[in-house]
Amino acid sequence: MKTSESIYKFFKISRYPYIWIMTGGQFFCGAYLASLFTNEIIPVALVILMLLWFMIFGNAFSCGINDAFDFESDRLNPRKRDIEITATPQEKSVFIKIALLSLLTFLPFTLILNQVALALFFVWVAGILLYNLPPVRFKRIPFVNVLGGPVYGVPVALMGYALVAGSLPDWSYITLGTLLAIYGLLVTGDALDFPFDKEAGWRTTGVILGSSRRVFMVALLVLASAITYSIWLGLWPLVAIGSVFVLFNLYEIWLDRVETHRLQIFRNFYIVSSIFWFLLLNHYTLKIIGF
């Protein structure tokens, strides 16, 4: 494949809305929640610029590194052919170059970000590299792949928060966000991908558990932990709105249809996630303005 064709193939992923949610949306939610809970004024221009950076170049970096080193499993996975991309060994160097060039476009932001936000950015970059690149490659280590997966989203959300607030939120909220991220990774990753990971010779959490249904059950336990923790923190709106994930999870456990509806389940999860964040942000917005 020509280099120009590889570049087009690389950037076509930007048309999928769930990709925007994965990075840009999490950054925006972090910044927006910080403005609600700390009464700090959002630096609108900077937040918009960084939101666009994460939606385009941040995705190009994180997805590019992921796809460049995942050919063994991705080539077997229909999701990677239908709504994502699979990098062939011949395209690997092109994907890596695009990813690194995309990362370099962040340099101007390093001159204006506060120290907390900048430190979180470096945590995000280091986490993605450790998660994907050999010899460490956390994504191929059972249970570590699930615990390390939140590096794609949690630091980005915290970065948005720190950009506005100048500091991190309470650790209880970071723990809660990490639990929700682990739940999401189990559902959209291990539960749907384990047959292809197994065939590729990987030993992930899904491969160890041995079936999508078991992964969904473990995901439900993680979700139950997050909801219980939310109750302990007194976050009743999150508990109420988050119940939609419980229904989603129970529905998939009951039907046990991953083999035939893999792509639909993947899309449905991101639809449910979008509804969750929309309702949650609207609730706190209305509460702050007195409705």
* Per-residue model confidence as pLDDT tens for the chain (291 residues): 566 655 655 565 544 566 666 778 889 999 999 998 888 888 999 999 999 999 889 988 988 888 888 776 666 676 666 556 666 777 788 888 889 999 999 999 999 999 999 999 999 999 999 998 888 888 888 888 888 878 888 999 999 999 999 999 999 999 999 999 999 999 988 888 888 888 878 888 888 998 889 999 999 999 999 999 999 999 988 898 888 899 998 988 888 888 778 878 888 888 888 888 888 888 888 877 665
pLDDT score at 28: 92
- Asked if 86 and 75 count as a contact pair (C-beta separation under 8 A), the reply is yes
Tell me if the pTM is above 0.85.
Answer: yes
> In this structure, are 38 and 94 located in the same domain?
yes
Distance CA 164, CA 37 (A): 11
Q: Show which of 150, 169, 188 is a domain's final residue.
A: 169
Looking at residue 89, its amino acid is P
> In this structure, are 2 and 128 located in the same domain?
yes
> In this structure, are 154 and 188 located in the same domain?
no
> In this structure, are 10 and 133 located in the same domain?
yes
Region class of 210: left (phi > 0), else alpha (psi between -120 and 50), else beta:
left
Segment holding 130, helix H or strand E: helix 115-132
pLDDT score at 81: 60
pLDDT score at 270: 81
pLDDT score at 13: 54
Q: Show which of 137, 169, 201 is a domain's final residue.
A: 169
Which 3 state secondary structure label does DSSP give 258? helix
pLDDT score at 91: 77
> In this structure, are 83 and 216 located in the same domain?
no
- Asked if 199 and 77 count as a contact pair (C-beta separation under 8 A), the reply is no
> In this structure, are 155 and 198 located in the same domain?
no
Q: Show which of 139, 169, 199 is a domain's final residue.
A: 169
- For 195-237, the pLDDT digits (tens) are 888 887 888 888 899 888 999 999 999 999 999 999 999 998 8
Task: Give DSSP secondary structure letters for 76-106.
Answer: T-HHHHHTS----GGGHHHHHHHHHHHHHTT
pLDDT score at 165: 95
Distance CA 99, CA 12 (A): 14
Residue 165's domain comprises: 1-169
